[in-house]
Amino acid sequence: TTARRPLMAGNWKMNLNHLEAIAHTQKLAFALNDKDFDRVDVALLPPFTDLRSVQTLVDGDKLRIVYGGQDLSRHDGGAYTGDVSGAMLAKLGCTFVLVGHSERRQYHHEDDDLVNAKVLAAYRHSLTPILCVGEGLPVRQAGGQVAHSVSQLDGALRTVTAEQARSVVVAYEPVWAIGTGEVATPADAQEVCSALRARLAELYDGEVAAAVRILYGGSVKSDNIAGIMDQPDVDGALVGGASLDPGEFVKLCRFGE
Picking from 146, 86, 148, the residue whose alpha carbon sits closest to that of residue 119 is: 86
Shortest distance (Å) from residue 183 CB to ligand PEP: 8
45 lines the binding site for ligand PEP (CB under 6 A): no
Find the DSSP H helices in 41-81. 51-60
| SS3 of residue 246 by DSSP | helix
Interface pick for ligand PEP out of 46, 129, 241, 246 (rule CB under 6 A): 241
Shortest distance (Å) from residue 187 CB to ligand PEP: 18
Whole-angstrom distance, CA of residue 41 vs CA of residue 27: 17
Interface pick for ligand PEP out of 219, 222, 224, 231 (rule CB under 6 A): 219
Whole-angstrom distance, CA of residue 116 vs CA of residue 98: 12
179 lines the binding site for ligand PEP (CB under 6 A): yes
Shortest distance (Å) from residue 60 CB to ligand PEP: 28
Shortest distance (Å) from residue 171 CB to ligand PEP: 7
H-run or E-run covering 18: helix 18-31
78: Cβ contacts below 8 Å, ≥ 6 apart: none
108 lines the binding site for ligand PEP (CB under 6 A): no
Segment near ligand PEP (CB under 6 A), from 83-91, 158-166, 200-208, 239-247?
A: 239-247
88 lines the binding site for ligand PEP (CB under 6 A): no
Closest residue to ligand PEP, based on beta-carbon distance: 240
Shortest distance (Å) from residue 122 CB to ligand PEP: 17
Q: CB of 252 within 8 A of CB of 8?
A: yes
Q: CB of 64 within 8 A of CB of 42?
A: yes
Residue (100 or 208) nearer to ligand PEP, CB:
100
Interface pick for ligand PEP out of 217, 229, 253, 255 (rule CB under 6 A): 217
Which residue in 110, 135, 173, 248 is the catalytic one?
173
| SS3 of residue 79 by DSSP | coil
Q: CB of 102 within 8 A of CB of 175?
A: yes
Interface pick for ligand PEP out of 42, 220, 228, 250 (rule CB under 6 A): 220
| The total number of residues written for the chain in this structure | 257
Which residue in 24, 101, 103, 148 is the catalytic one?
101
The backbone region for 107, taken as left when phi is positive above 0, alpha when psi lies in -120 to 50, beta otherwise, is: alpha
To the query of whether residue 101 is one of the catalytic residues in this protein, the response is yes
Q: Which residues from 137-176 bind ligand PEP, rule CB under 6 A? A: 173
- Cβ-in-10-Å burial (0-12, 13-18, 19+) of 48 comes to middle
User: For binding to ligand PEP (CB under 6 A), which residues are involved?
Assistant: 11, 173, 178-179, 217-220, 238-242
Active site residues: 101, 173
